[in-house]
Amino acid sequence: MSKNLSELSGRKGLKKNLFEELGIAAQQTGTPELMEMERIRQEFLIGSSSVYGAVSFYDFLKPENKGKKVYICNGSSCLTAGTQPALKEKLLQHFEASEIGEMCCLGRCHQNVSFHTNGKNYSGNDIDVIDQIKNESTVTRETYYVGSNGTPVITKEHGSVNEFYSIYKNCLTKTPAELLTELKDSGLRGRGGAGFSMAFKLESCRNVASKTKFIVCNADEGDPGAYSDRYILENRPHTMLMGMMIAGYITGANHGVVYIRGEYPESVNIVADCLQELRKEKLIGEESGANGFYFDFKLIKAQGAYICGEETALLSSIEGQRPEVRTRPPYPTQQGLFNKPTVVNNVETLANLPYIMKNGGKAFAAIGTPKSTGTKLVSLDGFFNRPGIYEVDMGTPLSVVMNELGNGFRTPVKAMHIGGPLGGMVPVSMIDSLTVDFDSFAKEGFLLGHASVVCIPEDYPLIDYIEHLFRFTAHESCGKCFPCRLGSTRGYEMIEKARTTAYKMDRTLMNDLLETLEVGSLCALGGGLPLPVKNALKYFDEELKPYFI
């Protein structure tokens, strides 16, 4: 059935998009009115249940958020920082309780005290000028440090647009096969999760015969603690955009979709301005063709759903369907957006392509380690003396990042949750044992992932944090597979009961639950949740022992 819905949604192509129409319909009140949903349903020939199923899933569309005027960040970093209860008390002096909602991670992890109102994000001391913010007479005063250690691939200034896009113009003088060879030589692996080979994805898509193909940028950076993609979107957007154009040329895709999470409104606006600039310079659009190739973009603002960071759920989202994870095969490179061959990569992965095509794949491979080439952006949260974004060569000792770049912790910390909510729980005692690369983390039983760092202070109960992870998964689950949907719920129910009553959890039962999630889940949301829980049980057994039989 979903394949038929994909075809129906794709009838109008990207110019008039079902998902985008639902977002527009929700702008006035926070949720689409029933009559407006019916009009959209009829226009796209979609069933009422399909439209309502999609609308009711997203944080910014569902009826429960109707009338909300301000949203408080409930992400892991703000949680462990302990800033949000006081923030809510201050907001209650200016808003009714019914007007206050929640959002998951606004990417302000370096400052915390994060909230969203009037379509903009705020953090740090912004709450002190809430009167001006309500009157839209001031903007955020957010700043964060950006540094590098080694070779600056992404953080380096790239000059004017025309100067920078000479890299792309030069690519068009070569064959796609030549560029693919450079990409293979680079060894570039995906920067958003498991570190999958980008060249393999592009070649797979290139080998599928189709008149229509898509390059999709997954800018739905929902991992609490991560704001490296946001840095690129707002400070180096052309690295990502050119990366998509180069990927399009290699695969034969003329269409690109930049899917940016709704929690990043500033990123949406900046990228929109960049696309206007590229169109003005005739670098994109059908009239920009060179060698018979052109590339054009569609910018889509997401509506609040962590699961859309999973590539197949993201594709269903663009189509206006409920963002449920798809079974594979077929893989997106064979049958993706609107059932057409599609490559999905995250922001940081794509942003590496201009450097590779300018300097050569072997030059990129010379940075980092043999199996983890190039550089990695690391996000440090507000528990560091110098929080910010740091670009480091792969293989850089984690101790250098923490102690020399971040200048150490400002308060005592016992663990760091690295790589998002599905990443590993790293005790501070392991800092000297790790280097920033895929293999070092995997060898020690962790996951580099997005390389975001959420610190857990010594006085924060780990049992509370584990419960938070289960609740996060239960809230964000697409619901398609039982292990994730039910297992995450049973997990937080058990922990809450053990935390608030005399009930003791059975360790065997917990291990069985984690194994079911790990083996039986369709995607990395349910499948990845067990990792930090297992790490916590291994390294913090004494602290957690009172909650088990």
Kindly write down the DSSP assignment for every residue of 508-520, as one continuous string: HHHHHHHHHHHHH
Question: Can you give the pLDDT at residue 116?
Answer: 96
Tens digit of each residue's pLDDT (9 = 90 or more) over 201-228: 999 999 999 999 999 999 999 898 999 9
d(CA 391, CA 194): 19
9-18, 89-98, 174-183, 218-227: segment of lowest average pLDDT = 9-18
4-8, 99-103, 177-181, 432-436: segment of lowest average pLDDT = 4-8
Helix crossing, 507-520 with 482-500: angle to 10°?
160
Long-range contacts of 439-444 (CB under 8 A, 24+ apart): 439/369, 439/371, 439/372, 440/395
**What is the edge-to-edge ordering of all strands in the sheet holding 296-301?**
296-301, 255-260, 214-219, 342-346
d(CA 1, CA 21): 22
Kindly state the average pLDDT of the residues 340-369: 98
Bridge partner list, 121: 116
d(CA 42, CA 87): 43
Give yes or no for residue 193 having a pLDDT over 80.
Answer: no
Question: Can you give the pLDDT at residue 201?
Answer: 96
Q: What is the mean pLDDT of the chain?
A: 95
Kindly state the average pLDDT of the residues 496-524: 97
Compute CA 6 distance to the chain's CA centroid, rounded to the nearest angstrom. Answer: 23
Question: Can you give the pLDDT at residue 1?
Answer: 43
At 345, which helix (H) or strand (E)? strand 342-346
Tens digit of each residue's pLDDT (9 = 90 or more) over 286-318: 888 777 899 999 999 999 999 999 999 999 999
- Tell me what percent of the residues of the chain surpass a pLDDT of 70: 100
- Tell me what percent of the residues of the chain surpass a pLDDT of 90: 90
Kindly state the average pLDDT of the residues 392-420: 97
Kindly state the average pLDDT of the residues 408-416: 98
Greater confidence, 192 or 200? 200
The pLDDT confidence band at residue 10, using thresholds 50, 70 and 90, is: confident
d(CA 230, CA 266): 9
| Backbone phi and psi for residue 452, each to the nearest 5 degrees, phi listed first | -90, 145
Tens digit of each residue's pLDDT (9 = 90 or more) over 277-292: 999 999 999 888 777 8
Give yes or no for residue 513 having a pLDDT over 60.
Answer: yes
Question: Can you give the pLDDT at residue 2?
Answer: 67
Tens digit of each residue's pLDDT (9 = 90 or more) over 38-75: 999 999 999 999 999 999 999 889 888 888 999 999 99
CATH architecture of 462-547: Up-down Bundle (1.20)
**Residue position matching structure tokens 């953090």:** 123
11-25, 162-176, 439-453, 499-513: segment of lowest average pLDDT = 11-25
Q: What's the CATH fold of domain 375-457? A: Ubiquitin-like (UB roll) (3.10.20)
**What is the edge-to-edge ordering of all strands in the sheet holding 100-103?**
100-103, 70-73, 115-117, 120-122
Q: How many other C-beta atoms are found inside a 10 Å radius of the C-beta of residue 503?
A: 13
Match domain 151-365 to its CATH number in 3.40.1080.10, 3.40.718.10, 3.40.50.11540, 1.10.1840.10: 3.40.50.11540
